[in-house]
Amino acid sequence: MKRINVFGSASSTRPFGAGDLLALLLVLVVLYAGARLALNAPDVISGPTIDLKPRALPWYAALSVGRMTAAYTLSLLFTLVYGRIAAYNRRAEQIMMPLLDVLQSVPILSFLPVVLLGLSAILPEAIAVELAAIVLIFTSQVWNLTFAWYQSLTTIPKELREASSIFRLNGWMQFRVLELPFATISLIWNSMMSWAGGWFFLMAAEIFTVGQRDFRLPGLGAYLHEAAEQSNFGAITWGIGALILVIVLLDQFIWRPLIAWSDRFKVATLTEAEPPTSWFYDLWSSASLASWLRDRVSGPLLERVDQWWLRHFPVRETAVAPSVGAQWLGRALPLLPLAVLLYGGYRAGLMLLSLPLTQWEQIGLGLMATLLRVVVALLIALAWTVPLGVAIGTNRRLAALLQPLVQIAASVPATALFPVLLLFVLRLPAGLNIAAVLLMLMGTQWYLLFNVIAGASAIPQDLRYTSDLLQLGRLERWRTLILPALFPYLITGAITASGGAWNASIVAEYANFGGQTLQTTGLGALISDATAQGDYALLLAATLTMMFAVVLLNRLVWRRLYVLAEEKYRME
């Protein structure tokens, strides 16, 4: 049986084409526009005063969750529109899907300085920093949601499509009663992943300071950063406790009830023996308030929306052919944005050519240093996640004990703990190098661990029995059964983990701590230092270098290993 990734789109194995070139050109122009705007950014930006009293934590937690909610709402709206157009418009798909493929490979934190400086040049400081944080979280959440929605739309069973045609459903009714229910399970699981990943980028945005520009935001991340700078271990404990409490509450009152509710949309002929459950969902379902809201509020409101769509957008019996003028307009309109992209690419090229050779040498050295740290972090993560993940995935008693703890630990963003980590590591020789690797490790290890657990859990029971009957030794069992079965999951986890490590380098290699600036050799440090110095040509070059490095590694290394996993190590 072929493996199917129910959590989103697997990495594409298509060749590099014109769509990819346009996507890369678009990213280049956006970066250039941000760098040009950054020239007008204020030289000094003062940040907020962070109150370390425990009574401030509820307000800071509400601010952090509010930013996450705003970004998730934007992500979901973008997903529903963008994914639907790409799924049903063949010509648009040829540009839109390669664009998504490139954007999901870009280290998002490398855009943070450009976005912050660009927005602060045209908006008031408070609005610019809040908007930049929401944009950053949005770009960390939206890609896998869009891929999951697109994949669901393109895999709806043919008989369900035919049924919607027989009942003559218009576009809105088809969306509401067919497409959205079919994609609900995938969207909810991907929403959980996006929300967990968004914590990492939220904390990075809340603690970001470069030189005389303090971009910090009042929130849980800034609270922990300030507590670590003041070596206030009581406040550190309160901050970490508040963060964990928020994560647990969201899991119990939002995500687990949604998972239990979404089980009704599973396309299956048999009921699952152990369906997902939620105590809060069971309690809410039996409450009279829920029935009243469904009968008096949501039901009538949804019926009115359906009637409005049916009146204004009835089902058309035959498609209306566009006029000749409309056809020419449709062909000419794409030329304008293409001309803008080409001109922007030309201007960005001129800015890159202005860089002296010595700075290109710095970029090359920084690329090698950051790449080395990424590799070291991945190797350390593999060393402990593979044995532990296999133990959890193959031992139900151990899984019942450790899996909840692992889920809570994985939800705590590494960027929130980084200031605390610096307190202890900076006293060691090469302390910042060790801290950088540790932050990259904290940002990558969970992707690998959960994929290993999933892979170990998916090993068929008959193959385990066969290995017992053959009396295979431990090493032979790992060589012939466990590692081959894990290989596809390891590659999937490694692709995501390596992207997380490159992202973490932006905040790991350059830090403002204890009133001083700490940095080590690396591409992430170059990006942050160029922002502090106002060297926007170097900022553009270093950011593009990191982006191209990640895209090339994905295409030349990880994609080929993914193809190998699909062809040689899949279950049949």
**pLDDT tens, residue by residue, 33-62:** 777 777 776 767 777 888 899 999 999 999
Q: What angle do CA 279, 270, 155 make, to 5 degrees?
A: 95
In this structure, of 371-375, 501-505, 541-545, 560-564, the range with the lowest mean pLDDT score is 560-564
In a domain, 356, yes or no: yes
Do 357 and 250 fall into the same domain? Answer: no
Do 226 and 374 fall into the same domain? Answer: no
What number of residues does the chain have?
572
Considering only residues 437 and 28, tell me which one the structure prediction assigns the higher pLDDT: 437
Give the integer Cα–Cα distance in Å for 511 and 324: 59
Do 258 and 388 fall into the same domain? Answer: no
Considering only residues 322 and 422, tell me which one the structure prediction assigns the higher pLDDT: 422
**pLDDT of 19 over the 80 cut:** no
**pLDDT tens, residue by residue, 512-548:** 766 677 788 899 889 888 877 778 788 888 888 888 8
**pLDDT of 552 over the 80 cut:** yes
pLDDT at position 4 is 34
In a domain, 425, yes or no: yes
Do 369 and 493 fall into the same domain? Answer: yes
**pLDDT of 372 over the 70 cut:** yes
Among residues 281, 308, 336, the one where a domain terminates is 281
In a domain, 103, yes or no: yes
Considering only residues 443 and 67, tell me which one the structure prediction assigns the higher pLDDT: 67
3-class secondary-structure state, position 106 = coil
Q: How far is C-alpha 274 from the chain's CA centre?
A: 30
Do 26 and 117 fall into the same domain? Answer: yes
In a domain, 297, yes or no: no
Considering only residues 360 and 278, tell me which one the structure prediction assigns the higher pLDDT: 360
- Domain count of the chain? 2
In a domain, 330, yes or no: no
Do 112 and 233 fall into the same domain? Answer: yes
Among residues 281, 305, 330, the one where a domain terminates is 281
pLDDT at position 211 is 63
Do 260 and 354 fall into the same domain? Answer: no
pTM score: 0.77
In a domain, 7, yes or no: no
Question: Within 395-427, where are the H helices?
Answer: 396-411, 414-425
Domain range for 207: 18-267+274-281
**pLDDT of 12 over the 50 cut:** no
* CATH code for the domain of 49: 1.10.3720.10
pLDDT at position 504 is 81
Q: Are strands 213-214 and 209-210 parallel, antiparallel or unpaired?
A: antiparallel
Question: Look-up: residue for tokens 């994929």?
Answer: 451
In a domain, 128, yes or no: yes
Among the listed residues 295, 289, 263, 288, the one whose alpha carbon sits nearest the alpha carbon of residue 276:
263
Do 260 and 363 fall into the same domain? Answer: no
Do 258 and 359 fall into the same domain? Answer: no
* CA–CA distances in Å: residue 507 to residues 111, 422, 435, 502, 518: 12, 12, 11, 10, 11
Q: Where are the beta strands (DSSP E) in 171-281?
A: 209-210, 213-214
**pLDDT tens, residue by residue, 55-93:** 999 999 999 999 999 999 999 999 999 988 888 888 777
Do 222 and 361 fall into the same domain? Answer: no
**pLDDT of 280 over the 90 cut:** no
In a domain, 288, yes or no: no
Q: How many CA atoms lie within 13 A of 453 on its CB side?
A: 19
Do 261 and 376 fall into the same domain? Answer: no
**pLDDT of 3 over the 50 cut:** no
Q: 11 Cβ partners below 8 Å, 6+ apart?
A: 492, 495, 554, 558, 559, 562
**pLDDT of 215 over the 60 cut:** yes
pLDDT at position 181 is 86
pLDDT at position 339 is 77
pLDDT at position 6 is 35
pLDDT at position 335 is 67
**pLDDT of 10 over the 70 cut:** no
Do the Cβ atoms of 517 and 533 come closer than 8 Å? Answer: no
pLDDT at position 334 is 62
Do 392 and 253 fall into the same domain? Answer: no
Mean per-residue pLDDT of the chain: 79
Please report how the helices 523-533 and 112-122 are oriented relative to each other, as an axis angle in degrees rounded to 10. Answer: 20
Question: Within 313-356, where are the H helices?
Answer: 324-332, 335-353
* CA–CA distances in Å: residue 205 to residues 102, 129, 140, 236: 23, 8, 12, 19
* CA–CA distances in Å: residue 396 to residues 251, 386, 391, 393: 22, 17, 9, 7
Considering only residues 519 and 235, tell me which one the structure prediction assigns the higher pLDDT: 235
- Interval 310-328 mean pLDDT: 58
Q: Which two tokens stand for residue 315?
A: 């089902």
**pLDDT of 312 over the 80 cut:** no
- Interval 304-316 mean pLDDT: 72
Among the listed residues 569, 558, 239, 247, the one whose alpha carbon sits nearest the alpha carbon of residue 419:
239
DSSP 110: G
* CA–CA distances in Å: residue 330 to residues 91, 208, 327, 335: 12, 44, 5, 10
Among residues 233, 258, 281, the one where a domain terminates is 281
In this structure, of 19-23, 193-197, 268-272, the range with the lowest mean pLDDT score is 268-272
Question: Look-up: residue for tokens 């609005």?
Answer: 127
Q: How many CA atoms lie within 13 A of 440 on its CB side?
A: 32
Q: Which two tokens stand for residue 5?
A: 């990734």
Do the Cβ atoms of 105 and 556 come closer than 8 Å? Answer: no
